[in-house]
Amino acid sequence: MRYGLDISSAGSWGDPRTMAEMAALAEASGWDGVFLEDYVFFPGGLESFDPWVTLAAIALATDTVRLGTLVTPLPLRQPARVAVEAMTLDHLSGGRFVLGVGAGDPASDDVRARGDALTARSAAEILDEAIEVINALWSGKETTFHGSHLDLSDATLRPRPLQRPGIPIWVGGCLTRRGPRERALRWDGACLYGTPPPTWRDVTADEVRALRHDARERRGDDTFVVAVGGRERRDDLDAEIDYVTSLAEAGTDWWHEYVPPRLPYDTARALVEAGPIRARPS
């Protein structure tokens, strides 16, 4: 199992230069990936910087860690712009970029700033169409797409991403529901989150096994990536190790640990430098 760091280009240490330094420290401290939340207007009114520009700085400051967004709310973005920015980051990083996508939080300031009604259903429909458009553009072939929400004619994006057949697309969310689960299984991976606060419930090992089973049945192989996480480290270290170990034994590929931007810089840096909590050897 690999270990990812979820951080945000927000708060007192969220500027691109400091984030690049933090990512380089993460790489040196044994983390396998650095992933950023993707907001325009960060929740809680924290000062924030663009995560995509920040990822460019991180790409230049690191050599081996995977990097990406967890997650980009595609219904709020222009798909062709996302496609070209992701392709550029893939080249800049030497083929290390992952595009995490989701429908977006209907209560977020980003959704309110959109200025029109975005229902759960329409967001899901736009998400499906946007993923199709982005993936088609990465082929380097002329792309035409006419959907219920998106329309594209005779568009060609070159160069292609470095990764073949394309940049990995991970679908994020609470995948116990059929729709999000089916969407994730059509692509390269899933990032599972527990029930949101204040009633947080962790993803269970049984849920990972069920998703892994469904992916194997659907695809006929074990190439589907299962990532779990998005929460802070808890104080009970033994319990955390037990939990992470159970996820690894269930077939989880990535465990992501969240370091919130509200933490003081020195505290956040110490957490990153300490490295990830690792599963016990099997």
Exposure of 96 in the CB half-sphere (CA atoms within 13 A): 19
> Strands (DSSP E) along 18-164, which ranges?
33-36, 66-73, 97-102, 143-146, 151-155
Q: Residue 282 falls within a domain, yes or no?
A: no
- The answer to whether residue 245 sits within a structural domain is yes
- Residue 197 C-alpha from the chain's centroid: 19
pLDDT averaged over every residue in the chain: 94
Length of the chain: 282
Query: What pLDDT is recorded for position 162?
Result: 98
Tell me the average pLDDT across 254-269.
97
Mean pLDDT of 78-100: 99
Q: Range of 58's domain?
A: 2-119+165-274
pLDDT for position 120:
86
**Token pair 């599972």 in the structure block, residue:** 192
CATH value at residue 269: 3.20.20.30
In a domain, 259, yes or no: yes
Burial of 159 (0-12, 13-18, 19+ CB in 10 A): exposed
- Asked, for residue 192, whether it belongs to a domain, the answer is yes
Domain for residue 107, yes or no?
A: yes
pLDDT tens across 123-176, in order? 999 999 999 999 999 999 999 999 999 999 999 999 999 999 999 999 998 777
Domain count, the chain: 1
142 inside domain: no
pLDDT over threshold 90, residue 82: yes
204-246 pLDDT per residue, tens: 999 999 999 999 999 889 999 999 987 889 999 999 999 999 9
C-alpha–C-alpha distance, residues 274 and 197, integer Å: 26
**Tell me: the pLDDT tens digits for 15-60?**
999 999 999 999 999 999 999 999 988 888 899 999 999 999 999 9
Between vectors from CA 117 to CA 111 and to CA 118, what angle results, nearest 5°?
60
**SS3 assignment, position 26:** helix
Residue 135 counted as domain residue: no
Q: Is the pLDDT of residue 197 over 80?
A: no
Pairing of strands 2-7, 151-155: unpaired
**The pTM is what?**
0.95
pLDDT per residue as tens digits for the range 101-125: 999 876 677 777 776 678 889 999 9
Please give the single-letter amino acid code of residue 170. W
The type of residue at 57 is A
Predicted pLDDT at 196: 63
**In a domain? residue 152:** no
